[in-house]
């Protein structure tokens, strides 16, 4: 260990020791613990000055609140600290590589944020007279045009609020189209590797879900699909590229078989980001596909939303799109159709799936992103995402086990836990060890078709240097696991704001809202 | 391209490491005859400045609410949002993080969700709230499905005071699931008799207060009748600010409370993204849709938070899940929660009172305009006026005079011509005396 002139040790080991001893506050330098607002706030405090309207005769008719709500307030400086401190306990794309497979944690350009906050977009009401919002309607129509051009589809329903809501929208259109033909088709085929939202969506629409097994290389076998097709099948819901990170190479054959059976092809577009500008789903026989604007087109994930999930539809399904929708006039302008009545003879909307018109704030961000990239940049982004995933696959395949090594990966690469056999280290342990190295873990235990799945999606937002450091880290961890250092994995993470949390306790004794702790004194008084 | 860090040299080196000649080798599984050879016929990449110019031009063609006397509500409300809120939600760690699946590095988001759930539970007078739905309308439809699961019945009775879009979403979702909906006629006067429609087959009664037309509804007798026949009361609101002043639905016997939280922290943004609030009794928690955050401890015994009770959810239960919802309204929850924290009970009560005072003033003023009748005996910050003319034309004429003066009821109720002369009008804290004077003067002119 080297010493500086003042005699203080400079090696990292020493500072680590210092960190272990408890501090008076429980804080560690920049790592500051923050209590709940219910513990730091006060009922008589507010951070908002409100004008006093003076006395007036109320018109509440005796409906006035009689009891206090018990909601604490914070002044502005206190609120600022509360939330800034909390923010520092989160991992974020802006901090580092966020390899959550299937989630597409790419860079969120700040121009998008700035544009979404223009008063002409952020401060307009959904029910203002349409004559006062022509720019908003044009924006929605313009985004719709980009989506149609990129997907090769006939029509787009803009109102779905997120991916799963888009699935609902597309599958409801399919259900309506089947009903319009006077048919009853109760079954939907869903591959085992699908996102949980697919079977949940089908079930919410009253369909019975029949799983389609994956073949050995991780893709769907058209022969299996043909076996399951019958006049009872309404649709197949297929993710492409699929959740194993593979392009379904027999997709055209599957689509043809599905159509021949009188059923529809729903594509889960969660992974559209791999193929933008490379191939159009409309050319592959897709009838409906949602597009997660918060994945492919970079609107921020915001700690779990909001998203947006417009659905593109084929010619056959277009008339069934829910209200509201944008109708494209021959002169290229967009017209807003809000009601079934307005839809007239040209359409038979299946209904309405949300109040108002959809996620305008996300539309502005997504269109800003698309215009920035342009057609060339969007294609380059897809290529870079795929290149980066394959680079990770190539550089790790000797120390980790690639689940489906035969086919090229698309934007994400799936590993299983065979490389951990006999080490005592599980996928969970491996993921938690990544946290100590400064990375958010990859998607774990999904898809369900391989054991101990680790799904890595680097996106196009990483430099080669960043990818190399990530690869180096995973190599190091894999080697460490194989070297028998199981204990350090079991204890991980050691350096995060929290060690492993007791999820069983959370589920067995749910505490879902704050309540005043019962003090011994209060108990005695009862 | 400014968002893509790889250089051509990097790309070549990486292709070499992979062992392929070119990028197209990695797309080999795409059928050759389907691959795009040309770029889609869309514009090429543009500079930040160029994009900004084009979007700013589009935005400039819209009349923003802040630029005119503005009285539009009907499910989305213009409120003043403190500058702190928008600053904080743009913190990278909140804005660019994912759903908190890895709790050790997501305590920030998780604690916010726990605080949000606690705030919503208290505001609504319920025991538990979830971590949000997409918006009030989808929350309402999900509440109906939840009531069907709990009661094992499938007929919902829906008030004519429910926001027409919420009613539309509920009807669509119910029809698609094969359930029944008994909808009362639109109720602009707040006088419907919903009790008569509740029977032994009823799963739930859906009532909005303040109603779409602004009336405050006494939920107690409805809760009593519903409970007497084994049904649930679903109480809905579109203006969460009202809960600062009126009695919470939980105190009036509601079993599920759903509503729109946009008013706190979130801008109008032409209708979305918003934030659906969803609260219920503890005994129903396992039938709830959506994510739930719960308290627990870590390996050192320190308090921490995790997503919990996920065996209700699609990623575990697949086709047996309580809902297909995955992404919710995370960042909008954060905005809501920050605004709520800044207000506290003290600020919320004052702000709600100011909203009510402004609406009372506006109603008083509009009542003096010849040809205008206020239909409400009670209201919070929104009420309905009858103008004895085609309301759509009147609202358009007001807009032509630079006043955004409410929503014609017919726009949301196209099937009911008898609502032709009704306008739903809102006034919040943002309106000044000058705004109100401009509105009443313009209305007088239009109706003259």
Residue A141 reports pLDDT greater than 60: yes
In chain B (448 residues long), the average pLDDT of successive 10-residue segments reads 97 98 97 93 96 98 98 98 98 98 98 98 98 98 97 98 98 96 98 98 98 98 98 98 98 98 98 98 97 97 96 89 92 98 98 98 98 98 97 98 98 95 98 98 97
Residue A16 reports pLDDT greater than 80: no
Residue B39 lies in a domain: no
Residue A328: the pLDDT is: 81
CATH number for the domain harbouring residue A472: 3.90.1150.10
Residue B192 lies in a domain: yes
Mean of all residue pLDDT scores within chain A = 93
Residue B9 lies in a domain: no
Residue A27 reports pLDDT greater than 50: yes
pLDDT per position as a tens digit, B147-193: 999 999 999 999 999 999 999 999 999 999 999 999 999 999 999 99
Q: Is B328 on the interface with A (CB under 8 A)?
A: yes
Residue A16 lies in a domain: no
* Residues of chain B with C-beta less than 8 angstroms from the C-beta of A117: 86, 267
Look at B41 and A276; give whichever has higher pLDDT: A276
pLDDT band, very low/low/confident/very high, at A14 (cuts 50, 70, 90): very low
Which chain B residue has its CA at the smallest distance from A191's CA? Answer: B318
Say whether A74 sits in a helix, a strand or coil: coil
**DSSP secondary-structure letter at A42?**
B
Domain boundary among A314, A332, A367: A367
Domain range holding B390? 68-79+345-447
pLDDT per position as a tens digit, A142-200: 999 999 999 999 999 999 999 999 999 999 999 999 999 999 999 999 999 899 999 99
Q: Is B8 on the interface with A (CB under 8 A)?
A: no
Same domain, B416 and B290: no
Crossing angle of helices A197-204 and B164-177, rounded to 10°: 90
Same domain, B124 and B94: yes
Same domain, B205 and B270: yes
pTM of the model: 0.96
pLDDT band, very low/low/confident/very high, at A6 (cuts 50, 70, 90): very low
* Residues of chain A with C-beta less than 8 angstroms from the C-beta of B42: 146, 149-150, 370, 374-375
Give A332 to chain B, closest Cα distance, Å: 15
Domain boundary among B284, B310, B339: B339
Residue A424 reports pLDDT greater than 60: yes
Residue A72 lies in a domain: no
- Residues ≥6 apart with Cβ < 8 Å to A100: A440, A441, A442, A443, A455, A457, B98, B101
Mutation pick from B271, B293, B330, B429 vs chain A, by most beta carbons of A within 10 Å, is: B271
Residue B446: the pLDDT is: 98
pLDDT per position as a tens digit, A460-473: 999 999 999 999 99
CB contact under 8 Å between A161 and B273, yes or no, is yes
Task: Concatenate the DSSP letters of all residues of A142-187 into one string.
Answer: HHHHHHHHHHT-SEEE----SHHHHHHHHHHHHHHHHHHTT----E
Residue A520: the pLDDT is: 58
Residue A49 lies in a domain: no
Same domain, A122 and A232: yes
Domain boundary among B339, B367, B400: B339
What percentage of chain A has pLDDT greater than the value 70? Answer: 95
**Tokens linked to A317:** 């399904």
CB contact under 8 Å between A59 and B25, yes or no, is no
pLDDT per position as a tens digit, A75-131: 999 999 999 999 999 999 999 999 999 999 999 999 999 999 999 999 999 999 999
Same domain, A279 and A412: no
Residue A20: the pLDDT is: 64
Residue A229 lies in a domain: yes
pLDDT per position as a tens digit, B298-356: 999 999 999 999 989 888 889 999 999 998 999 999 999 999 999 999 999 999 999 99
CA distance B40 to B29: 20
Same domain, A189 and A138: yes
Strand B382-386 to B422-426 pairing: antiparallel
CATH number for the domain harbouring residue A304: 3.40.640.10
Domain range holding A243? 113-367
Same domain, B377 and B300: no
**What is the rounded average pLDDT of the residues A500-523?**
85
Residue A101 lies in a domain: no
Domain boundary among B339, B366, B386: B339
CATH number for the domain harbouring residue B272: 3.40.640.10
CA proximity to A73, closest of B113, B89, B337: B337
Same domain, A390 and A348: no
Same domain, A398 and A344: no
Residue A521: the pLDDT is: 52
Q: How many domains does one find in chain A? A: 2
CA distance A526 to A212: 60
Same domain, A333 and A418: no
Same domain, B213 and B359: no
Same domain, B373 and B320: no
Crossing angle of helices B330-366 and B107-124, rounded to 10°: 30
Give B190 to chain A, closest Cα distance, Å: 13
Residue A524: the pLDDT is: 44
Same domain, B279 and B384: no
Same domain, A344 and A418: no
Say whether B181 sits in a helix, a strand or coil: strand
User: Do residues A37 and B115 touch, judged by C-beta distance below 8 A?
Assistant: yes
Residue B31 lies in a domain: no
Same domain, B163 and B283: yes
CB contact under 8 Å between A70 and B345, yes or no, is yes
Same domain, A402 and A353: no
Q: What are phi and psi of A234, to 5 degrees?
A: -85, -40
């Amino acid at each position: 260990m080297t010493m500086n002139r003042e005699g203080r040790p400079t090696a990292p080991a020493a500072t680590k020791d210092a960190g272990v001893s408890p501090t008076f506050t429980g804080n560690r330098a920049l790592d500051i613990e923050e209590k709940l607002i219910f513990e730091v706030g006060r009922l008589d405090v507010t951070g908002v000055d409100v004008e006093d309207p003076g006395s007036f005769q109320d018109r509440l008719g005796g409906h006035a609140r009689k009891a206090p709500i018990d909601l604490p307030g914070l002044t502005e400086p206190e609120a600022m600290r509360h939330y800034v401190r909390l923010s520092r306990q989160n991992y974020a794309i802006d901090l580092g590589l966020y390899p959550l497979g299937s989630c597409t944690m790419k860079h969120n350009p700040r121009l998008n944020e700035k544009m979404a906050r223009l008063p002409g977009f952020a401060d307009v009401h959904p029910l203002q007279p349409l004559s006062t919002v022509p720019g908003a309607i044009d924006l929605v129509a313009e985004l719709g045009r980009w989506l149609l051009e990129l997907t090769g589809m006939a029509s787009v329903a803009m109102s779905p609020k997120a991916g799963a809501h888009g699935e609902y929208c597309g599958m409801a259109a399919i259900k309506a189209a089947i009903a319009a033909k006077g048919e009853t088709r109760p079954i939907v085929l869903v591959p085992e590797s699908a996102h949980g939202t697919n079977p949940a969506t089908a079930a919410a629409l009253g369909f019975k879900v029949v799983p389609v097994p994956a073949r050995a290389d991780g893709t769907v076998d058209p022969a299996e699909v043909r076996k399951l097709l019958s006049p009872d099948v309404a649709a197949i819901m297929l993710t492409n590229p699929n959740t194993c990170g593979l392009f379904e190479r027999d997709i055209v054959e599957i689509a043809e078989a599905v159509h021949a059976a009188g059923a529809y092809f729903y594509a889960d577009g969660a992974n559209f980001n791999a193929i933008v500008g490379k191939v159009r789903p409309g050319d592959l026989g897709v009838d409906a596909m949602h597009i997660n604007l918060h994945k492919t087109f970079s609107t921020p994930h915001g700690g779990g939303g909001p998203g947006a999930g417009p659905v593109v539809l084929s010619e056959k399904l277009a008339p069934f799109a829910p209200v509201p929708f944008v109708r494209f006039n021959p002169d290229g302008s967009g017209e807003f159709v809000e009601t079934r009545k307005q839809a007239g003879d040209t359409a038979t909307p299946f209904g309405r799936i949300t109040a108002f018109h959809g996620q305008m704030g996300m539309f502005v961000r997504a269109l800003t992103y698309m215009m920035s990239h342009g057609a060339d940049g969007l294609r380059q982004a897809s290529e870079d995402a795929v290149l980066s995933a394959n680079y990770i696959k190539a550089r790790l395949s000797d120390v980790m086990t690639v689940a489906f090594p035969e086919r090229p990966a698309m934007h994400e690469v799936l590993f299983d836990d065979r490389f951990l056999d006999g080490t005592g280290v599980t996928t969970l342990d491996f993921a938690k060890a990544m946290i100590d190295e400064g990375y958010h873990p990859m998607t774990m235990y999904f898809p369900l078709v391989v054991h101990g799945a680790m799904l890595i999606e680097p996106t196009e937002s990483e430099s080669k240097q960043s990818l190399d450091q990530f690869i180096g880290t995973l190599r190091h961890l894999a080697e460490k696991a194989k070297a028998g250092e199981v204990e350090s994995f079991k204890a991980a993470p050691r350096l995060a704001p929290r060690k492993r949390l007791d999820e069983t306790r959370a589920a067995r004794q749910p505490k879902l809202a704050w309540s005043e702790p019962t003090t011994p004194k209060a108990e005695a008084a009862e | 391209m400014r968002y893509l860090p790889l250089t051509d040299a990097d790309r070549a080196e990486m292709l070499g490491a992979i062992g392929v000649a070119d990028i197209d080798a990695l797309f080999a599984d795409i059928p050759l005859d389907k691959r795009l050879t040309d770029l889609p016929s869309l514009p090429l990449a543009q500079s930040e400045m160029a994009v900004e110019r084009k979007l700013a031009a589009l935005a400039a063609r819209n009349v923003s609410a802040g630029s005119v006397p503005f009285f539009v509500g009907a499910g989305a409300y213009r409120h003043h949002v403190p500058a702190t809120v928008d600053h904080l939600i743009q913190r990278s760690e909140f804005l660019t993080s994912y759903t908190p699946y890895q709790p050790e590095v997501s305590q920030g988001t998780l604690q916010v969700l726990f605080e949000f759930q606690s705030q919503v539970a208290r505001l609504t007078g319920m025991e538990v709230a979830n971590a949000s739905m997409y918006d009030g309308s989808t929350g309402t439809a999900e509440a109906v499905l939840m009531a069907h699961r709990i009661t094992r019945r499938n007929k919902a009775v829906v008030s004519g005071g429910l926001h027409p879009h919420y009613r539309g979403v509920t009807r669509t979702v119910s029809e698609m699931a094969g359930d029944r909906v008994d909808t009362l006629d639109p109720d602009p006067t707040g006088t419907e008799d919903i009790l008569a429609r509740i029977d032994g087959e009823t799963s739930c009664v859906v009532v909005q207060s303040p109603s779409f037309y602004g009336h405050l509804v006494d939920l107690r007798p409805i809760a009593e009748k519903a409970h007497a026949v084994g049904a649930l009361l679903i109480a809905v609101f579109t203006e969460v600010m009202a809960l600062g002043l009126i009695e919470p639905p939980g105190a009036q016997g509601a079993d599920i409370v759903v509503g729109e939280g946009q008013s706190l922290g979130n801008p109008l943004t032409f209708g979305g993204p918003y934030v659906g609030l969803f609260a219920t009794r503890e005994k129903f928690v396992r039938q709830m849709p959506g994510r739930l955050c719960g308290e627990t401890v870590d390996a050192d015994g320190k308090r921490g938070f995790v997503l919990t009770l996920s065996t209700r959810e699609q990623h575990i239960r697949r086709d047996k899940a309580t809902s297909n919802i995955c992404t919710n309204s995370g960042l909008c929850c954060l905005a809501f929660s920050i605004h709520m924290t800044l207000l506290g009970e003290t600020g919320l009560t004052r702000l709600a009172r100011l909203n009510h005072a402004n609406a009372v003033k506006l109603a008083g003023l509009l009542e003096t305009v010849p040809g205008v009748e206020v239909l409400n005996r009670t209201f919070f910050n929104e009420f309905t006026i009858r103008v004895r003319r085609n309301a759509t034309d009147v609202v358009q004429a007001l807009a032509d005079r630079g006043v955004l003066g409410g929503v014609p009821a017919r726009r949301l109720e196209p099937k009911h011509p008898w609502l032709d002369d009704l306008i739903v009008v809102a006034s919040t804290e943002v309106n000044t005396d000058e705004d109100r004077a401009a509105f009443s003067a313009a209305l007088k002119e239009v109706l003259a």
